Amino acid sequence: MFQRELLSVYFVAGTQDCLHLSTETPEQKLLSTLETALQAGITCYQFREKGELALQDKQAQWQLARDCQALCRQYGVPFVLNNDVEMAVKLGADGVHIGQKDMAALEAIKLIQGKLFLGISNSTLYELQNSLKLPDIDYWAVGAIFNTASKPDAMQNVGIDLIRQAKQLAPNKPLVAIGGISVDNVANIWAAGADGVAVISAITQSDNVMQTVQKLKTTY
């Protein structure tokens, strides 16, 4: 069951985000980073294996997704799949997240049949207005708020005002901000009215994940 508190510190990552680490394989790098983040207190995890540097073998992706899901279950944290609705349903994930260019939202809603929670990305007011028309969307992701290298395909630096616009448009819709968020700027995100922050490099590039997660939370 979805609750807006799950968005508080929403970790998004795949092997492509952990290649700089020194552990043996890409899979081990991600799993080690995820477990550290879970121990630190993240409230949700999204498996996002995407891009040229990600695992290309589908079977390897499935196995890694299962391993990540098992870790999340161990710590009682929701496990979300990025874009791949079919994989999410077959794995029995807790949720699935889609972008504006991914599978049509209505098709995703039909496939998950209310068994998984569903989030959708938004980077403009126009997209927010479209998302408002969709039934059964549990939360909105808004961004990239600041410039980010983690998602080169994302619209960059849409600004904090988009969070405020989203809240004016749908005051009760749970909202997570994403894109270039760090411990140095997260206070501005909370002040704008977001229910949570979604981060990639803030955790994968951190020298002290425990401290980073706590700062992301306590700045609220």
Residue ranges for the known binding site for Mg(2+) are: 102
Residue from 8, 29, 121, 206 carrying the catalytic annotation:
121
Cα 49 from chain centroid (whole Å): 12
What sign does the dihedral 16-46-143-127 (CA atoms) show? positive
Is-catalytic flag, 123?
no
Which residues fall in the annotated binding site?
A: 46-50, 82, 102, 121, 148-151, 180, 200-201
What radius of gyration do the chain's Cα atoms show?
16
In which element (H, E) is residue 209 found? helix 209-218
Is-catalytic flag, 151?
yes
Residue from 8, 29, 48, 215 carrying the catalytic annotation:
48
Q: Which residues, including other chains, have CB under 8 Å from residue 64's CB and lie 6 or more apart?
A: 15, 27, 30, 31, 47, 49, 55
Is-catalytic flag, 182?
no
In which element (H, E) is residue 67 found? helix 58-75
Residue from 29, 123, 131, 151 carrying the catalytic annotation:
151
Active site residues: 48, 121, 151
